Chain A
């Protein structure tokens, strides 16, 4: 029932045709969330320059999306594209693991 808005919101951004469509779920402006966003931007700029889009979803503002997108942990990074969907949780401080999780780098 809440699945529809969850899908459509990020897809609007995806229209730009980025190869990596990334969605970061946060809950308010916490240290972990800010750290995750900063880490994500840094990693993306370094490894996916020009190939990505980032959308930040604040669940405090859109609580229904937590259910539709099966979010439990905060912060959660969802790679919507390329498919299949992948989820990475945590403040993204471990760059290596983020790259493996995004499938940018093969498993070490």
Chain B
């Protein structure tokens, strides 16, 4: 009977393991599999200015406003006024939250110069203080920012360590989800080795400059009992709070659409074996002037012609230049812009960090809800970071768009003859369709040619097709055997 009951109960609660407290921070809950460990302490560490306080504060505020979990913010470093001002930039009104008894901010002042130590003591005052704050509003979340400041206030490290250990046990007994921040130390995660006391979840933030661009990153160092992402994820702090990329899944579980969409060039569709799969990722590589953007224009026009929205992210030409150029070859893209079907988003490659670009693309996609996204050209990103970083960012973007069932068309510029294939090489394995555009020399003249290097799941042509860019757009001619000069 009892065994039966037990089994029944085991069925009710899936063996998912630990309960999670959603952070509400975009992207963080995805990579942690649902949030921070509920009822347990989490350590967030990193150097000065890495965003520890902001992350902790957003966790607390979102808990209070979105998940019905009031919270106590105990600040050991910043004054309550400074905190209020700092988080106002993320759109949080701490004063109002305190008035509504959703949040308590307790400013703890620790200054050794004011304190004389004469004999034995403990930190019971801190416990009482925190306990009182928790009980006053029925808090479920607690932030201690940054607890290590205590080491500056008291000289007896042995007492402090014993008391910290007691504090973490006490927090668990209180069943509050706690976030403790710590400053990164030499050779260890925090100056005072707080990681020794927090065994459930440790998140490391980092803030570094590469190629004159600042990139913030987040990494989950450990998370007991949870499968978590192990990469360094870029994140940024904006007016809407923190967002950690990827915003979406880490899995390959997105459903594969079977619908085929036209490239906008009938003969190319034939060569492709019908067109592109909807929500597939298309890479078009080629040297300057081989027609990459023109092909993008055709695809955008075909998309808008069906009444679907297209987002064009241009990193090389201004929207107006692009529209004029497309008009010149008979693609009436301006009309789609005025109909609200086509939207442009011009990015200057050097204006922002890589992750900021990708996040803005995410935000645009969320707002505009296009069925096609064109990025012209991804090679512009390559001056902005290490190739591995860019590849990993693009993979996340591809995942994101696939789960949204959005087709992605990327152009890639190669700068030397025969390098076109290499230009696509580092991401070619993750794209579904790869078109190679080239200027071949045949019979003493340059001839434009397109070939389908790969197109997953399509019976595509393997020939090189000659094409021309005319006043009526791209016209692909029949299979043209060409002799390549190698």
The answer to whether A92 and B128 touch (CB under 8 A), given A67-B106, A67-B133, A72-B108, is no
- Which listed residue, B121, B128, B133, touches A89 by the CB 8 Å rule? B121
A5 to B362, CA, bound (A): 52
A93 lies within 8 A of B121 (CB): no
- Does any Cβ of A come within 8 Å of B11's Cβ? no
Number of interface residues, chain B, beta carbon within 8 A? 25
Q: In the complex, which residues 33-83 of chain A have their Cβ closer than 8 Å to any Cβ of chain B?
A: 35-36, 39, 59-60, 63-64, 66-67, 70-76
Provide the residues of chain B in CB contact with A66, threshold 8 Å.
125-126, 128-129, 132
A74 lies within 8 A of B124 (CB): yes
A5 → B minimal CB distance (Å): 13
Counting chain B CB atoms within 10 Å of each CB, the highest count among A60, A87, A90 belongs to A90
A99 to B153, CA, bound (A): 20
- Does any Cβ of B come within 8 Å of A86's Cβ? yes
Provide the residues of chain A in CB contact with B109, threshold 8 Å.
70
- Which listed residue, A39, A71, A98, A100, touches B125 by the CB 8 Å rule? A71
- Does any Cβ of A come within 8 Å of B110's Cβ? yes
B119 lies within 8 A of A70 (CB): no
- Which listed residue, A72, A86, A90, A91, touches B153 by the CB 8 Å rule? A72
A101 lies within 8 A of B125 (CB): no
Q: In the complex, which residues 92-131 of chain B have their Cβ closer than 8 Å to any Cβ of chain A?
A: 106, 108-110, 114-126, 128-129, 131
Provide the residues of chain B in CB contact with A89, threshold 8 Å.
115-118, 121, 154
Provide the residues of chain A in CB contact with B123, threshold 8 Å.
72-74
A35 to B106, CA, bound (A): 30
A73 lies within 8 A of B125 (CB): yes
B121 lies within 8 A of A91 (CB): yes
Provide the residues of chain B in CB contact with A32, threshold 8 Å.
120-122
A64 lies within 8 A of B132 (CB): yes
A101 lies within 8 A of B121 (CB): no
In the complex, the chain A residue whose C-beta lies closest to that of B154 is A73
B119 lies within 8 A of A67 (CB): no
The answer to whether A27 and B114 touch (CB under 8 A), given A70-B109, A74-B121, A92-B119, is no
A73 to B123, CA, bound (A): 4
Provide the residues of chain A in CB contact with B132, threshold 8 Å.
63-64, 66-67
In the complex, the chain B residue whose C-beta lies closest to that of A69 is B125
Counting chain A CB atoms within 10 Å of each CB, the highest count among B110, B132, B133, B150 belongs to B132
In the complex, the chain B residue whose C-beta lies closest to that of A84 is B114
Provide the residues of chain B in CB contact with A70, threshold 8 Å.
108-109
Provide the residues of chain B in CB contact with A98, threshold 8 Å.
116, 118
- Does any Cβ of B come within 8 Å of A25's Cβ? yes
Provide the residues of chain A in CB contact with B153, threshold 8 Å.
72
- Which listed residue, A59, A86, A87, A100, touches B128 by the CB 8 Å rule? A59
A22 to B109, CA, bound (A): 20
A87 lies within 8 A of B121 (CB): no
A75 to B126, CA, bound (A): 12
Provide the residues of chain B in CB contact with A74, threshold 8 Å.
121-125
A93 to B133, CA, bound (A): 32
Provide the residues of chain A in CB contact with B121, threshold 8 Å.
32, 73-76, 89-91
B335 → A minimal CB distance (Å): 62
Counting chain A CB atoms within 10 Å of each CB, the highest count among B110, B128, B133 belongs to B128
Provide the residues of chain B in CB contact with A93, threshold 8 Å.
118-120
Provide the residues of chain B in CB contact with A100, threshold 8 Å.
116
A70 → B minimal CB distance (Å): 5
In the complex, the chain A residue whose C-beta lies closest to that of B130 is A66
The answer to whether A67 and B129 touch (CB under 8 A), given A72-B108, A73-B123, is yes
A91 to B117, CA, bound (A): 9
- Which listed residue, A67, A75, A86, A92, touches B114 by the CB 8 Å rule? A86
- Which listed residue, B115, B119, B126, touches A87 by the CB 8 Å rule? B115
A67 to B117, CA, bound (A): 20
Provide the residues of chain A in CB contact with B124, threshold 8 Å.
27, 59, 73-74
B180 → A minimal CB distance (Å): 16
The answer to whether A27 and B125 touch (CB under 8 A), given A70-B109, A72-B108, A72-B110, is yes
A34 to B116, CA, bound (A): 19
Provide the residues of chain B in CB contact with A60, threshold 8 Å.
128
A1 → B minimal CB distance (Å): 9
- Which listed residue, A27, A64, A72, A94, touches B119 by the CB 8 Å rule? A94
A69 to B123, CA, bound (A): 14
A79 to B49, CA, bound (A): 37
B132 → A minimal CB distance (Å): 4
Provide the residues of chain A in CB contact with B125, threshold 8 Å.
25, 27, 59, 66, 71-74, 76
A16 → B minimal CB distance (Å): 25
The 5 closest A-B pairs by CB, nearest first: A101-B116, A63-B132, A90-B119, A93-B119, A66-B129
A sample of 22 inter-chain contacts (CB < 8 A) reads A27-B125, A32-B120, A32-B121, A59-B124, A60-B128, A63-B131, A66-B128, A66-B129, A66-B132, A67-B133, A72-B110, A72-B150, A74-B121, A76-B121, A88-B117, A89-B115, A89-B118, A90-B119, A90-B121, A91-B121, A94-B119, A98-B118
Given pairs A59-B124, A66-B132, A67-B133, 17 additional interface contacts (CB within 8 A): A27-B125, A35-B119, A59-B125, A66-B125, A67-B129, A67-B132, A74-B121, A74-B124, A76-B125, A87-B114, A89-B117, A90-B119, A90-B120, A90-B121, A97-B116, A97-B118, A100-B116
